[in-house]
Structure 1
């Protein structure tokens, strides 16, 4: 599958890596006894896939929970169906500590041993190895669900991106606040001071312009090193922002909401799904009445076949694990991996090229965890739907509205693709 071409800088990096003899290769490992072409990580008995994530760094809780979702899905298929294509599927976990340099080392170590990346966490890390992923023809599912990763070569995003969640969240909050031509509602945005933050700001400003009655009054930024958010909170408070959209990670949520409460500032906060971790429920107890999550997929509190299957599989695989909604995203990616491998097996082609062919136009249903998707050409947003959730007593999200999509999200995507 042809994805977005590399920049000149990336091409130069690729050539340098090749000259250094670091290529993981994408060639066949031969043909199995069953006549199936086999790529790296595939034998007659096993299919090895890797999860490259933060298991001990600043977003480790999300990384661990997300990986657990993938692992539980793979374990379910191994236990109940004997694996895929007569082979047990093995998950090779690699800890990046959310550091691009360590990510590069871990990717290079994992690449020769695995057929595909079942889940990759970290936009900066993905950008650090984008040339490697292109060179190795490595099928990669991203848990950093933003349009920056969607545009990378051989990288697939199987859920609505954070930008769609934020846009939908803002349109919902505006409606709830009664924003109209005759009633102006002031909004503020908090995003990171990097390229990812700029993309989130672009999406949010587009939504604000497309939604009648909104006035953007503050747009403070932060760095990953920040632990004190006094300046950001004061900027929002002084500007009178009634709605605050949070394009952040779990590492910033406690500081922003906690310090806002200290200063007596109580706006409506709305974040994307990537900002909330259930462990924050206890330290922020009593401060979350006006905090909402716009999520592109369901929650562990949902009563549907998909969540029931996930819960059963997690209890069988890791009975002592504490539930966290990042599991759901991992389960979604794990489901895509399973369906792609099955389709590749049917074509008798368990090479990386075979997996990418299988992923092109792959249609996947998730038993109501989120609406069915079509991966299409791998470059397009798979869904513009999200749902608004509040935080329950256990820190797990609970829905307050049904899935919906906004015209602002669609028009933003059309504009960015021009």
Structure 2
């Protein structure tokens, strides 16, 4: 579909006459406003990605890289949302279409994919990877393309068109340090390890752990790794030699499994706390499962998919019916929640009379208590702050849907306001 708007040209009088004859012959009432948008027959302003009967959204995902499992779950969950929405009449009288592009967790591929789909979509309810979003920030802002990253780096805050959903990596690690000091007996003078991916994800997580550790009188022993590192034997040896009493990890599922498995086999049986992207339920069917069950906890802005929340139970049942045999993991919840929130924004924009991109962004920023019933309400009104300030603590359970259960319900991240103030002062 080509939604490129009509533009003024030097032969405008001739074109105007031709268009007038065409409109009279077809009965069409669409009207260009000269600002890159058009007035639809239904009175709603439209722009790229919005047709008379369709509304197109984009997804830049990872289906072949280190987060392929996550990407598949998010894509399927968002397609389920689109199908459900269309069965109920769509949004603004238009059916939702989602255009999916796989970047394989490669920044250049993501940049190319964005250029391919940007002219034909109104918003992006999914972009996996902080490095990918960071590379696209200028284009996204220029295009007023409302974007929900499946990434939670604080460096993505402060952009009108980019929305981190929930807490950021640094807040999660502050919550992790709090959990360790409250429940695992860590005390002033102890050392904690932090294994983290190089790049935006790990760097932001390390900021949070370092700040929280300093407040608690702990010392962080950092271990930076690459996304291609899947054997963490060297890191475990270094942490064991340093005498750490706990380990934080901000990486992928493969790295979390290696860390826990190697640590347990070498006698480093200390608590391990992961960021949400570091766990996948498939891990509970690997040789690392016993170590994960014994050592691991996960901090997350979202509850476990095994939660009793009615919205989550309905989503899980629908997903299992639509995709039998597919694992229901945190990506399903994250993707479906993002799509639901995008739906809220699109409906609000329609009600205000415009589905033009900048007006979709405006409708989004007007949301101060967006609640999908899938977690905690979110406030999108301040671009400089995380939308959520509450975290759950989860633990592995091989018998539970999604491989995790709630250990602690959502609670405010201790010290978050002080930390955020320190970052802006």
TM score, norm. by length of structure 2 = 0.87
Q: Does 1:287 align with 2:295?
A: no
**Aligned partner (choices 350, 364, 369) of residue 370 of structure 2:** 364
**Aligned partner (choices 299, 303, 306) of residue 301 of structure 1:** 306
Q: Does 1:97 align with 2:104?
A: yes
Instruction: Tell me how far 1:180 sits from its aligned partner.
Output: 4.4
Contact 1:325 1:397 in 2 (8 A): no
Instruction: Tell me how far 1:409 sits from its aligned partner.
Output: 2.5
Counterpart-to-counterpart distance in 2, 1:415 and 1:294? 22
- Report what 2:249 is aligned to: 246
**Aligned partner (choices 221, 226, 238) of residue 224 of structure 2:** 221
**Aligned partner (choices 316, 326, 332) of residue 311 of structure 1:** 316
Q: How does 1:29-108 map to 2 (within 5 A)?
A: 29-79=37-87, 81-108=88-115
- Secondary structure of the residue aligned to 1:400 is strand
Instruction: Tell me how far 1:69 sits from its aligned partner.
Output: 2.5
- Report what 1:267 is aligned to: 270
Counterpart-to-counterpart distance in 2, 1:390 and 1:88? 39
- Report what 2:195 is aligned to: 190
- Report what 1:6 is aligned to: none
- Report what 1:235 is aligned to: 238
Counterpart-to-counterpart distance in 2, 1:191 and 1:161? 15
- Report what 2:27 is aligned to: none
- Report what 2:422 is aligned to: 415
Contact 1:242 1:268 in 2 (8 A): yes
Distance 1:44 1:400, change over 3 A: same
Q: Does 1:131 align with 2:138?
A: yes
Contact 1:36 1:348 in 2 (8 A): yes
Q: Does 1:332 align with 2:340?
A: no
The Cα RMSD (Å) is 1.8
- Secondary structure of the residue aligned to 1:403 is strand
Counterpart-to-counterpart distance in 2, 1:27 and 1:189? 50
- Report what 1:342 is aligned to: 347
Report how many aligned residue pairs link the two structures: 387
Contact 1:50 1:110 in 2 (8 A): yes
- Give structure 1 stretches of 5+ with no counterpart: 1-25
Instruction: Tell me how far 1:136 sits from its aligned partner.
Output: 1.4
- Give structure 2 stretches of 5+ with no counterpart: 1-33
- Report what 1:120 is aligned to: 127
TM score, norm. by length of structure 1 = 0.88
Counterpart-to-counterpart distance in 2, 1:338 and 1:129? 23
Instruction: Tell me how far 1:359 sits from its aligned partner.
Output: 0.5
Counterpart-to-counterpart distance in 1, 2:220 and 2:357? 48
- Secondary structure of the residue aligned to 1:374 is coil
Q: Which has the higher contact order (CA 8 A, sep 6+)?
A: 1
Larger Cα-atom Rg: 2
